Amino acid sequence: MTREYPALGTLVLLAFFSLATPGYAQTAAATTKSTVPLRYDVSKEVTLNATVESVPGKSSDARTQGDFLVLQTKSGSINGGLTPFALNEKGGISISAGQQVKVTGLMMTIQNKQVFLIRTLEVDGRTYELRSKRGAPLEHPARNGASSTQSKGGQL
C-alpha cells in the first residue's frame, strides 16, 4: 500500500504546534495575581460615623453615583457598598439623605473603584446587619437588625 499524501502528517503536526503556542501565552497572563483582596477580612473592619449624602435610586444624581450609599465623613466622601436587599421596599431599610449613620465595614477596590463594603449599618438607633462576617450579602436586613431597646416579653 502506498501513501498518496506523504507530507499530510507533517503538515497536521506543524499546524497543531503553531496553534498551541498562543494558547500557552494566554494562560501565563491569566495567572498573574490580583492586588484586590479576594475575601472579606473582619479583623480589618473599621467603624465610621457619617452623614448620608445620597441614597441609590432616591437622588437626582443616582445614575452618576452608581448603586452606592454616598457618605460624608470627617475625611471626605466615600461610596458605601450596600447589598441588593438593603433598600428593597419589602423588608428594606428606610434611609434618606441628611441622616446620621454609623457604618462598620471594610474598604476594598471593586472594578477599579474604592468602595466601603458596609457590613453593619446603624440608623435611628437601630443596627442592621447587611453582610455576614465573611462578607456575603444577607437577605432581609430588617429582620437581621437589632433594636436598641430590648423586649421583656410578648405573644407568640
**44: DSSP letter:** G
35 pLDDT band, cuts 50/70/90, is: very low
What pLDDT, on a 0 to 100 scale, did the predictor assign at position 49? 96
pLDDT digits (tens, 9 = 90+) for 6-34: 677 777 766 766 666 555 455 544 555 44
pLDDT digits (tens, 9 = 90+) for 92-120: 788 899 999 999 999 998 888 899 999 99
Q: What is the mean pLDDT of the chain?
A: 76
What pLDDT, on a 0 to 100 scale, did the predictor assign at position 87? 80
Q: Is 1 exposed, middle or buried (0-12, 13-18, 19+ CB in 10 A)?
A: exposed
Sequence-distant (6+) residues with CB within 8 A of 49 are: 73, 100, 101, 102
pLDDT digits (tens, 9 = 90+) for 54-88: 988 754 443 444 578 999 999 999 999 988 888 87
- Let me know: does 109 contact 36? Beta carbons within 8 Å: yes
Question: Which CATH architecture best describes the domain 42-129?
Answer: Beta Barrel (2.40)
Work out whether the CA dihedral 129, 112, 43, 123 comes out positive or negative: negative
What pLDDT, on a 0 to 100 scale, did the predictor assign at position 20? 61
Domain ranges of the chain: 42-129
- In whole angstroms, give the CA distance from residue 131 to residue 138: 5
- Let me know: does 35 contact 29? Beta carbons within 8 Å: no
Q: Which helix or strand (DSSP H or E) is residue 9 part of?
A: helix 8-30
